[in-house]
Amino acid sequence: MTTLDFQGKDVFAALESQFKPKPLPEIKPEIRIKNAIVCSFFTSDDYYKAHGARLKANLESLGIQYDLREITKKEGEDWAAICRRKVGFIAEVCEKNPDKKVFWIDVDCELFSIPDFILNSSADLIGFQRGFSSPTKIGYQNRGRFWEPCFWGINNSNQARAMIKAAADFEEVATVRATDDYFFEEAWRATSGNMTFQIIPSNCAVDKGVGSLESHEVFFRFGSSGQVENFKNLVEQHKGNTARRLLHPKRELLRIVRKIEEKLPLRISTKLRLIVDASGITGFLTGKNHNNINNQTINKLVAAGKSGNLAEFNVSLSHFRRKVLPNRYESAAIKVASSYLAYSAKPGNKEISLSWWENPFPGNFGDWLTPFIFNHYTENKIIFQGLTNRTNKSHIVSLGSVGRFIKSNSVVVGTGVSSFKHALNPKADYISVRGPHTAKLLRDSGGPEITCFGDPGVVLARILPFTRGETNGRIALVRHYTHLQAPVRLPENFDELSVQISHPNDIIAFIEKLNEYESVVTSAMHVMITCQSYGIPCALVVFKGFEEYVHGTGIKYSDYALGAGVPVMDPIAIDPNLDIEEIKPITFLHKVSEAKIDEVEAAIRVSLNRFKK
């Protein structure tokens, strides 16, 4: 090789070194929240490390400073001992950040946002009450400890920092085997007399409260590794002042029945389920799980509404209002009682027994369409017959995925199913079903061949012939009631409407309102069906992270569409932070034909003629 060759290579290497791209500097996330820091830690095992990465991305997207550390698990150290290390860790973060609020979050939890009422709280401590309880159940007579330790905030006040230091000092010398919340509870009890505190409503946590459009925004999702139960009796526990085991015999019996059902062969469990449902046992075990009504006057009010006893309704309502300021559950029950009464107190001489799903109060639009629609086709009183209650009377079962609860004396029109898990009663009087999937399940259950299809919801445009003129140019969001705790953010030009209605006047107003909008985005199937009855452009969605919240396997959507003669629309998963560009491509205008509406109307009329008191 010549000298020239060496020189050429040297020149080339120099040029390559000169023009070689330099690594880009690391882009640090923008810190938009200046007055707070979030801290947590995690071990190197797969579960916690993956959640650590998710939480890091979560906090960076929120624009908040964080101290998120991977810690080394010491030899012989178990979950309880690692939890104990939180005490000193939080104390260290507080000491390093004397001018900031410090928030601890368990690494497998999620923050969708940090609301202003939390970031700007003046309280020394802020957090969820133990067990995500409501204010009416606050205190040591209900819980052994005051705070729920998965997410809580420590202000930079002297009192707050004194409590954290007290917890850390005690943890250093204590020989008791305990987790972090034991030491924080001890410090809280020792210092709380000098402290202010603020409870975060349980509605702000996914699945921990009762969804409502009137709530503070949902900002938190609890994560659980399952370790709490594993160590429940192995570490020191606090007990409440009047600690006693509350017996819930119905809940325990329901748990036992479900375990037995899981172990039985499918053929036997299917027959057993039909017997249990028809006998009313299901209704007895689950009947009070939904509405939290303990006031006897309110129960009388609801009973009077169901039976059409207007005089008893007025007496009970007047008595209640003179003595009690209703809570949200009682207010909802009063609304529902009035809704029952609108149908049961009609002047007609005869009664029609009609079944629909009544829960949760104050009602769900799709379920309460049943009496609304049938009311249009009969002058008779409509008396509610609970789907899960035993009855010897003939009764009509119609809208909804309630096929499981069809009884031998049911007259069925337009009913569907949400899965193929539960067999249908083959002995009922079937006039129509929602679609071909339900018809197939009926055949497989030993029932008749049914070829008349259609969800009765398609007749709404015939009942209320609103004309869509010029719209307001806006988009309506209508969530399924099980999605009310999704952390939805509305963009400009969106309004949210609630499906939690039952009274016929509210249903009329709701449908009229839908017709004012340019289009509708919904995760509630009967809102979509309403749109397709009128020809309102609609997007059927589900929110990412909440895909499993609507009961069933999803067959009900194609069952409806095939039965109604419209294109199939399955829910599309979208980000709860709504983006119009994500919604536009999945918004469609489908309208049910007049011929199909004629067919469904005819089935409704046949069911009323065939009904036997």
Same domain, residue pair 140 and 203: yes
Dihedral of CA atoms 291, 294, 295, 296 in degrees, nearest 10, equals 100
Per DSSP, the residues of 139-206 read STTT-SSSEEEEEEEE-SSHHHHHHHHHHHHHHHH--S---HHHHHHHHHHHHGGG--EEEEPGGGBT
pLDDT confidence of residue 563: 97
Q: Which of 456, 423, 429, 455 is nearest to 442 (CA)?
A: 423
Segment 388-397 shows an average pLDDT of 92
- Kindly give the interhelix angle for 365-376 and 594-610, rounded to the nearest 10 degrees: 70
Is 582 a domain residue? yes
- Say if residues 533 and 397 touch (Cβ distance below 8 Å): no
**Residue closest to 551 by CA, chosen among 367, 281, 332:** 367
Whether residue 392 is contained in a domain is answered as no
Residue 450 CA to residue 435 CA, distance in Å, equals 9
Give the lowest-confidence range in 185-199, 228-242, 287-301, 389-403.
228-242
pLDDT (0 to 100) of residue 553: 86
Contact 601, 544 (CB under 8 A): no
Rounded to whole angstroms, the Cα distance separating 428 from 434 reads 15
Q: Are residues 257 and 145 in the same domain?
A: no
For residue 608, give the 3-state DSSP assignment: helix
Q: Tell me: do 57 and 205 sit in the same domain.
A: yes
Domain enclosing residue 548, as ranges: 461-593
Verify that 201 and 164 share a domain, yes or no. Answer: yes
Residue 92 is encoded by which pair of tokens? 């260290």
Question: Cα(326)–Cα(436) distance, rounded to whole angstroms?
Answer: 45
What is the SS3 assignment for 39?
strand
Contacts of 512 (CB under 8 A, 6+ apart): 464, 466
Residue closest to 343 by CA, chosen among 362, 317, 370: 370
Confirm whether 150 is domain-assigned. yes
Asked whether residue 375 is domain-assigned, the answer is: no
User: Within a domain: residue 404?
Assistant: no
Residues 170 and 305 occupy one common structural domain: no
- Given this model, what pLDDT does residue 12 score? 54
Q: Please indicate, yes or no, if residue 285 is contained in any of the structural domains.
A: yes
244 confidence band (pLDDT: 50, 70, 90): very low
Distances 541 to 293, 366, 485 between C-alpha atoms, Å: 33, 16, 15
- Considering the domain architecture, whether residues 66 and 90 belong to the same structural domain is answered as yes
Percent with pLDDT over 90 in the chain: 68
- Tell me which residue has tokens 């259950």: 445
Residues 313, 302: Cα–Cα separation, whole Å: 8
CA distances from 92 to 26, 85, 86, 165, 375 (A): 27, 11, 10, 9, 66
Alpha helices, DSSP H, located in 199-265 = 227-230, 249-263
Q: Is residue 24 part of a domain?
A: no
- Is 542 in a helix, a strand, or coil? strand
pLDDT, the chain, mean = 88
- 2 pLDDT higher than 50: no
End-to-end CA distance of the chain: 109
Distance of CA 98 to the CA centre of its chain: 38
Confidence of residue 581 (pLDDT cuts 50, 70, 90): very high
Asked whether residue 175 falls in the same domain as residue 266, the answer is no
Three-class SS of residue 35?
strand
Taking the C-alpha atoms of residue 601 and residue 458, their distance in angstroms, rounded to an integer, is: 9
Specify the CATH number for the domain of residue 106.
3.90.550.10
Report the CATH number at residue 568.
3.40.50
Same domain, 319 and 467: no
pLDDT tens for each residue of 190-234? 999 999 999 999 999 998 888 788 888 899 999 875 554 444 555
CB 381 within 8 A of CB 308: yes
Q: What span, in angstroms and rounded, lies between the C-alpha atoms of 448 and 409? A: 15
Q: Please, are residues 76 and 48 in contact by the beta-carbon 8 Å criterion? A: no
Give the separation between CA 321 and CA 330, rounded to whole angstroms. Answer: 11
Reference 119, options 192, 59, 56, 38; nearest CA is 38
Asked, for residue 529, whether it belongs to a domain, the answer is yes
Tell me: do 177 and 257 sit in the same domain: no
| Packed helices 525-534 and 504-514: angle between N→C axes, nearest 10 degrees | 60
> Does residue 522 share a domain with residue 573?
yes
Give the three-class secondary structure for 279. helix
Instruction: Please choose, from the candidates 165, 172, 203, the residue with its C-alpha nearest in 3D space to the C-alpha of residue 187.
Output: 165
Q: Are residues 215 and 302 in the same domain?
A: no
Per the structure, the count of domains in the chain is: 4
pTM of the model: 0.83
In this structure, which amino acid lies at residue 360?
Answer: P
**CB environment 355-366: b (16+ within 10 A), e (fewer):** bbbbbbbbbbbb
pLDDT digits (tens, 9 = 90+) for 11-69: 555 555 555 666 656 667 788 999 999 999 999 888 899 999 999 999 999 999 999 99
Say if residue 165 is in the same domain as residue 298. no
